[in-house]
Amino acid sequence: MKKLTALIFSLILCILLIGCSKTVSLQLPFEASEIASVEIFHFIDPTDAEKKVITRQDDINDVFSVFQGLSLKEQKAEPAAGAACTGFRFLLSDGTTYEILYWSVAVKSGRICTSETEESLFTSADIEANWNQYDYEAVPAAESELPLLS
C-alpha cells in the first residue's frame, strides 16, 4: 500500500511539474508580404560571423513560416559551451527591423530571443538548419551587425 501511495504521489508531482512549463506560440508582428529581405547570421564566435541576405519572396515566405506560430516554452536550459548561434533580421518594407536570435542547447533544440522579449524561450525546433537551407552567398559579418548583440 505504501508503494502504491508513493507511486501515485510521484505521478501527481510529475504531472504538476510538467504543467508548470507554460507553452506559448510565437506571433510575429508583421506579415510575410511586409518583408523586403531577411539577413541570416551564423556564428560560434561573433568575430567569425557570416551573413546571408535572403531576397527571393518564396524563400522569405519560408523563413517567415519557420517562426510564425512556433511553439516556445518557458523552460530552464543553458546554452552548451561553444554553441552555434543563428540570428535573423527581418528588414520590413516600412524601414523597420525585427530580430530573432537562436542558440543551440542540444541537437535540434535551443533558445530563442526576439526584439520584443526580455528573456529567452526554449524550442525543440531545429532553427540552426535554416543556415544551410538557403543557397545564397555567405559573406563575413561584422560583430556590430549581429542581431540582438549590438
Is the model's pTM score more than 0.85?
no
**Tell me, what's the pLDDT at 20?**
52
Q: What is the pLDDT of residues 77-126, one digit of tens each?
A: 565 567 889 999 999 999 999 999 999 887 778 899 998 887 888 998 88
**Tell me, what's the pLDDT at 68?**
96
30: pLDDT strictly greater than 60: yes
Set out the domains of the chain in order of their start, with CATH numbers: 22-145 (3.30.1490)
Residue range 30-48: mean pLDDT, rounded: 96
**Tell me, what's the pLDDT at 141?**
97
Compute the radius of gyration of the chain from its Cα atoms. Answer: 19
When mean pLDDT is compared over 30-39, 67-76, 97-106, 110-119, the highest value belongs to 30-39
**Tell me, what's the pLDDT at 79?**
57
Residue with grid cell 541537437, as numbered in its chain? 107
Write the CB contacts of 26 (distance below 8 Å, at least 6 apart in sequence).
67, 68, 69, 70, 71, 72, 112, 114
**Tell me, what's the pLDDT at 72?**
93
* Whole-angstrom distance, CA of residue 100 vs CA of residue 149: 11
